[in-house]
A and B are shown apart, each in its own frame.
Chain A
Amino acid sequence: MEFDWSQEDIQHRRDVQAFLKEELPDNWEEMSQHGPGGDSQAQFSRHFCSRMAERGWLTQHWPSEYGGRDCEPWRHSIVGEEMWSVGEPRGSQYMNVNWIGPAIMNYGSEQQKALHLPKISTGQVLWCQGFSEPEAGSDLVALRTRAEKIDNQYVINGSKIWTSYCNHADFIFLLVRTDPSSSRHRGISVLLVPMDTEGIEVREIPSVVGERYFHEVFFTDVTVPTDVLLGEANNGWNVVNYALQFERIGAARYARAAVTLDKLAELARERGMLEDPIVVDRLGEARALCEAARVLVYKVIDIRAKGLPPTADTQLARVLSTTCDNAIGRLALEIFGQESREYASFADTNFRMAMTAGIAVGATEVQLNLIASRFLELPKE
């Protein structure tokens, strides 16, 4: 057991920080106020990720045969922490490198790998995930969007909801029911569908989270060739579970929360609020929470770095990471008080970006169910 970063990792973190200083435009704070799905950030991500790719950093944890550098997941986690700390300039492309690419590597045909992986590893493509539906939220296996196989084509009908990043996406990682007689987790497949296919319509759902955050995606007789199927037909549930193990701790929420907290503490000091024992207590509580979330995420990265099968540690880390993000988002409102009422102010932006944390990628309650059954081995009955 040892908890040191290697000298190479320490240097890599410094290099990434210097790169960010160099690459982020002066108006980055304004640009990033709507989050990774915002128009300007999505646009910027194509430029930024290309620059990262030129450095060989975008997919450095991937195998070299797919455009990576065979680096340990630890190296990629450093990039994740630094990117989230400044508001994720990779935009939605963090998903590409964290789990969409790895899922294609694991389940994709040679043709799919050749089509998608170079685009991802060079930062040229935006993806979104088509999972939730109006009647399939936390209960994802209730999904109804169907893809009917007719000759060598799938004809897709149905709709997805709460979809982020889809207004700028080139492809959707789409979960559909391919066996009409199936139910629950059987008969589900994953299709890699170009978003410019005829019959796909995107509508924004206005929300208090921010602009371009939630969308509905409608599929009306969307016809695609069967070679968009990822893995075997009707085996999509396994593909998704594989992918979600990466996604659940893919966003280094604790890192952004920790940076936000540092700024809050600085502001509290400037305003003399550190003389208030209640403020000190809240700041201490929040900092401890950030550290607790970080160490649980590191435990998962350690498991991944050793090539071991995923465990319920992923769920433990996910819950604490989102708890931490939410807690510091709310603390920002308290410290900034009425100033946070202004849209896109520091506290407002941080709060909005954190407020969906406990819902996205499986609600906290779903994670707690999994911890109960897999970690504590409690009976279902």
Chain B
Amino acid sequence: MNFELNEDQQAITESVDRLLAQHAGATRTIELNGHGMYDDALHQLLDESGFSTIARDLASEDGPAGLEAALIVEAVARAGGVVACAAQMLVAPAVQEAAITGPITLCTLDDLKKPVPLRFGAHAKTLLVLGIRDVHVIPLTPEDLKPVRSSFGYPMGRLAKADRFADLNAAGNCLGPNAALAMANWWRLSLAVEAVGTMDAALTHTVGYLKQRRQFGRSIGSFQAIQHRLSLCAIGVEASRWLVREAAYHGAPTEAVAAAAAFTLETADQVFTETHQMSGAIGFTCEFDLHVWSMRLLALRQELGGVGGARRALVEARWGNQP
């Protein structure tokens, strides 16, 4: 057991943080979100710097280097990056050895039927569909996609032509049942990884504001009623961080992933609620950065059955839910 980053992990996180400090951040996210745009430049930089393929490049006989990739995804989420890096760095390497063209968007069969707005769904070049037993890898063209306006912090899009996806085997490549389990686990874990980086930034932003903002002649952050609730949020974020990293280290086993996601996505709701409540009216405005992270937390809680889905998966994995 060792909770400290090793030298390689340290170098990776420092390097990606440097890149993100220059090419990402709340101001850029707000600008891109305002136009429903994807950050092609950041996506390209992550590709060129070798971060996008790190899970494959550092893979061992045990599988892709999920922890290193998770550290990068966590950092990108913290910076509010408008890139589909979780699907690219965590999910894709787990389902298929060969690289998959990004941006990638993810959906279930149910998502496809409705069809619901997908994160990065207006810009994706590949759709990964989680079937009951298979994974379908479907190349997308701009005609397949329709942008959807959303309040929830990511560029969203819906699949435009339902008939094009009626026969998934004809629409793209079909991967076997091992890929389906891997996709489900890594997708669920990637939601938790993104939530950790996003919660971290939302909480840090709120704590910084509450140290400065004065009411009743003192800083709001000095009131015990506020301090205790912030402390509870911090406990949730830290526990989420380590659960997620541990699950990524072990290659996303179902039970560990479900526990990490169940706890993290529940904490995401707590962090959303508390950071907005404590920030007051300014917290809802576009000029105040909190929304960059807070609104995303709610979107992350909606995929793959959210908290309830993670809890059901956890009970099934640990105890089996057959009477």
Report A's interface with B, CB cutoff 8 A: 1-5, 74, 262, 265-266, 269, 272, 274-275, 277, 280-281, 283-285, 287-289, 291-293, 295-296, 298-299, 301-303, 305-306, 313, 316, 319-320, 365, 368-369, 371-372, 375-381
Question: Which residues of B are found within 8 Å of A288, using beta-carbon distances?
Answer: 258-260, 262-263, 266, 310-311, 314
- Check A269 against B239 for contact (C-beta < 8 Å): no
List 17 A–B pairs whose Cβ atoms lie within 8 Å, in order of A's numbering.
A265-B318, A265-B319, A277-B312, A284-B310, A291-B263, A296-B238, A299-B3, A303-B3, A316-B234, A319-B232, A368-B232, A369-B231, A376-B207, A376-B230, A376-B234, A378-B210, A379-B211
- Check A378 against B211 for contact (C-beta < 8 Å): yes
- Check B1 against A296 for contact (C-beta < 8 Å): no
Question: Which residues of B are found within 8 Å of A295, using beta-carbon distances?
Answer: 239, 242-243, 246
Question: Which residues of A are found within 8 Å of B27, using beta-carbon distances?
Answer: none
**Nearest 10 CB-CB pairings of A with B:** A284-B311, A372-B227, A288-B262, A292-B239, A371-B231, A381-B222, A288-B263, A291-B259, A302-B3, A368-B231
CB proximity to A under 8 Å, residues B70-86 = none
- Check B321 against A280 for contact (C-beta < 8 Å): yes
- Check B230 against A275 for contact (C-beta < 8 Å): no
Q: Does B60 contact A (CB under 8 A)?
A: no
Q: Does B322 contact A (CB under 8 A)?
A: yes
B56 to chain A minimum Cβ distance, whole angstroms, is 19
Q: Does B197 contact A (CB under 8 A)?
A: no
Report B's interface with A, CB cutoff 8 A: 1-6, 9, 67, 207, 210-211, 218-219, 221-222, 224, 226-228, 230-232, 234-236, 238-240, 242-243, 245-246, 249-250, 256, 258-260, 262-263, 266, 308, 310-315, 318-323
The residue that A269 contacts in the complex, of B224, B312, B320, with Cβ under 8 A, is B320
Q: How far is B322's CA from A281's CA once the two chains are assembled, in angstroms? A: 15
| Closest residue of A by beta carbon distance from B222 | A381
B256 to chain A minimum Cβ distance, whole angstroms, is 8
Question: Which residues of A are found within 8 Å of B3, using beta-carbon distances?
Answer: 1, 298-299, 302-303
- Check B231 against A3 for contact (C-beta < 8 Å): no
Question: Which residues of A are found within 8 Å of B235, using beta-carbon distances?
Answer: 296, 316, 319-320, 371
Question: Which residues of B are found within 8 Å of A376, using beta-carbon distances?
Answer: 207, 227, 230-231, 234
Q: How far is B320's CA from A159's CA once the two chains are assembled, in angstroms? A: 53
- Check B221 against A274 for contact (C-beta < 8 Å): no
- Chain B interface, >50% SS class: helix
The residue that A275 contacts in the complex, of B240, B311, B323, with Cβ under 8 A, is B323
Known: A284-B313, A298-B1, A381-B218; 9 extra A-B contacts, CB below 8 A, are A3-B1, A269-B319, A274-B319, A285-B311, A288-B310, A299-B238, A302-B4, A378-B222, A379-B219
Question: Which residues of A are found within 8 Å of B245, using beta-carbon distances?
Answer: 1, 3
Q: How far is B312's CA from A1's CA once the two chains are assembled, in angstroms? A: 29
Q: How far is B311's CA from A274's CA once the two chains are assembled, in angstroms? A: 12
B145 to chain A minimum Cβ distance, whole angstroms, is 35
Q: How far is B231's CA from A371's CA once the two chains are assembled, in angstroms? A: 6
> For A295, A376, A379, which residue has the most chain B Cβ atoms within 10 angstroms?
A295
| Closest residue of B by beta carbon distance from A378 | B221
- Check B2 against A1 for contact (C-beta < 8 Å): yes
Question: Which residues of A are found within 8 Å of B239, using beta-carbon distances?
Answer: 292-293, 295-296, 316, 320
A324 to chain B minimum Cβ distance, whole angstroms, is 10
